[in-house]
Amino acid sequence: MKILFVSGEVYPLAKTGGLADVVGALPKAFRSLGDEARVMLPGYPEAMAKVTDVRAPLPLADAMGYGSARIVPARMPDSNLEVFLVDCPEAFARPGGPYQDADGRDWPDNPRRFALLSRAAALMGVGGGLAGWQPDIVHAHDWQTGLVPVYLRQWGGRTAGSVFTIHNLHYQGVFPPAVLGEVGADPALYHVDALEYWGNVSLLKAGLVFADYLTTVSPTYAREIQTEGFGYGLDGVVRARAATLRGILNGIDQEIWNPAADPAIAQPYSAADVSGKARCKAALQAAAGLLPDAGAPLLGLLGRLVWQKGIDIVLGALPEIVDMGFQVVIQGAGEPGLEARCREAAAVFAGKVSAHIGYDETFAHVIEAGADMFAVPSRFEPCGLTQMYALRYGTLPVVRRTGGLADSVADVDESPDGTGFVFDGETPADFLAALIRARELYDRPAAWAEVRARGMTKDFTWRAAAVRYREVYESVLRARRG
Ligand code: ADP
Ligand code: GLC
């Protein structure tokens, strides 16, 4: 089977969050199943600079109003994976991130930028494909690629099937109706059963309505998004697709996130010999400006500083947490208000609380390895990867019972196979109660070691997910054959 993944970010070429990790890792897992997956993303300058084996570009006839555009075939630097970059400097060669300028403002032409990407991907799926390669399935990810199934349907004929994965239903790609014309979509799609969304157009809705099959990144989130509380206005659309919606838990890249061979950490360690973890903790304390204290339980937090992640839930309990003898290290970037609160906390509790504001891939590994416990207090979490990295690094997760957190961490007091601590509710007191339980176990080293070993040896490889995605692709192809 031939599959084309299309996404606004792919690790290690461009990354703002877990989406990049997923699209960077999942395609590789298809190799062992005998299938061929390739990836397409925008030709951001850093991505263009990182790829290898760059070959002759294929011109794109319609550059979506930009000067000119072409598809550049190349390979990923770290695997041999084939990648297609949509090279259009006017759209993608800009200072800042994939979606925003350096000041955190969305690029005003985002619909057109990602329509260009989506159309390039859809073009590969029609009429024999491009460069002698036509995927059987185009697998699109999040709102940026919501137009992929729309273009495929619009063009018709014997096109590739489409699968659309919801990584986060909260980001809906909402724009004024005029964008329909800009992106070359049929004006008749401005309709409540198509792209229209409260007087605007939603590119996420485009994917939800028109893809042959929908998936999301955990079974629990697949159920949650059919309810009003998690649907953010789109739960009805999701419910209407329930028969062709499946929740498939993400895996993790166990080569990149491997404490036994991680160049970023102070000393390698494994489930069989965890002794190196103590040095990693000391190294983290030193690097984060925390007091050197082998005995103090060290709690790590890492992620985008946005409402979703519930960082404020932990900040609200900080005085009590510090009182209990904990040290806390936070790394994140995002909303200025939350960044300021983290900095303030670090100033108030100097030596006990450390805030590393910014994006730092290497230090993320240092935290995962050096902390004893890892908090993910998210209000909602489609899957979440950091708690799985924590498990692999022998760092016990304390998570809210939602989405993929509920599907990847079992509570030690609820299950004989427990690997962490799970809490309900969303107040500082709810979090604190779970942390108190964590502290109690931490004070019983033998029991702690047993739980830690269980987490470290859990299988979060991508293979299981790839098998499930393959079933989805097969059912799409069967349905298309009629
Ligand atoms: P989301 O995609 O919602 O941000 P995930 O848990 O799925 O959440 O993935 C987040 C990814 O981004 C992880 O790989 C995590 O290590 C990384 N990450 C988030 N914030 C930072 C940061 N400030 N510095 C380095 N890595 C980060
Ligand atoms: C989204 C979600 C996160 C998930 C990631 C990868 O960014 O917020 O929970 O792990 O996508 O699927």
> Which domains, from first to last, does the chain contain?
2-251+462-481 (3.40.50.2000), 276-456 (3.40.50.2000)
385 burial type by CB count under 10 A (0-12 exposed, 13-18 middle, 19+ buried) = buried
Ligand 2 is surrounded, with C-beta below 6 A, by 17-19, 22, 167-168, 217, 250, 381-385, 404
d(CA 365, CA 268): 12
What distance in angstroms lies between residue 90's CA and the mean position of ligand 1's atoms? 28
**In this predicted structure, what is the pLDDT of residue 186?**
94
Residue 156: the pLDDT is: 81
| CA dist., res. 332 & res. 184, Å (int) | 38
The answer to whether the CB of 359 is under 6 A from ligand 1 is: yes
Q: pTM for this one? A: 0.97
| Tokens at 295, concatenated | 């005995």
State the distance from the centre of ligand 2 to the C-alpha of 230, rounded, in angstroms.
14
Q: What is the CA radius of gyration of the chain?
A: 23
CA–chain centroid gap for 37, Å, is 19
For a pocket test of ligand 2, which of 15, 19, 253 has the largest count of ligand atoms closer than 8 A to its C-beta? 19
Instruction: Report the separation in Å between the CA atom of 360 and the middle of ligand 1, taken as the mean of its atom positions.
Output: 10
- Give 405 Cα–ligand 2 centroid separation in angstroms: 11
Task: Dump pLDDT digits (tens) for 419-432.
Answer: 999 999 999 999 99
* Residues 305-335 pLDDT 10s: 999 999 999 999 999 999 999 999 999 999 9
> Which ligand 1 atom minimizes the distance to the CA of 383?
7
Rounded Cα distance, 215 and 245, in Å: 5
Per-residue tokens: 469:
């995605």
Q: How far does the centroid of ligand 2 lie from the alpha carbon of residue 232, in Å?
A: 16
Ligand 2 probe mutation, 164, 168, 204, 388, most atoms within 8 A of CB: 168
pLDDT at 472: 98
In the chain, the amino acid numbered 308 is: Q
pLDDT at 481 (0 to 100): 87
Q: Is 302 in the pocket of ligand 1 (CB under 6 A)?
A: yes
Interatomic CA distance for residues 185 and 118, integer angstroms: 12
Ligand 1, pocket-test mutation among 386, 392, 393, 409, most atoms within 8 A of CB: 386
Please spell the DSSP secondary structure of 153-181, one letter per residue: HHH-SSPPEEEEEES-TT---EE-TTHHH
CA atoms within 13 A of residue 264's CA, in its CB half-sphere: 19
Give the separation between CA 225 and CA 398, rounded to whole angstroms.
23
Q: How far is the CA of 38 from the centre of ligand 2 (A)?
A: 21
Indicate if ligand 1 lies below 6 Å from the C-beta of 333: yes
Q: Which parts of the chain sit beneath pLDDT 50? A: none
Which residue, 249, 40, 61, is CA-closest to 137?
Answer: 40
What is the distance between the alpha carbons of residues 230 and 251, in angstroms, rounded to a whole number?
23
Residue with the nearest Cα to atom 4 of ligand 1?
17
pLDDT reported for residue 395: 99
Ligand 2 atom with the shortest distance to the CA of 165: 12
Cα–Cα distance list, 448 to 284, 299, 365, 398, 453 (Å) = 20, 15, 22, 14, 9
What length is written for the chain?
482
The number of the ligand 2 atom at minimal distance from the alpha carbon of 17 is 7
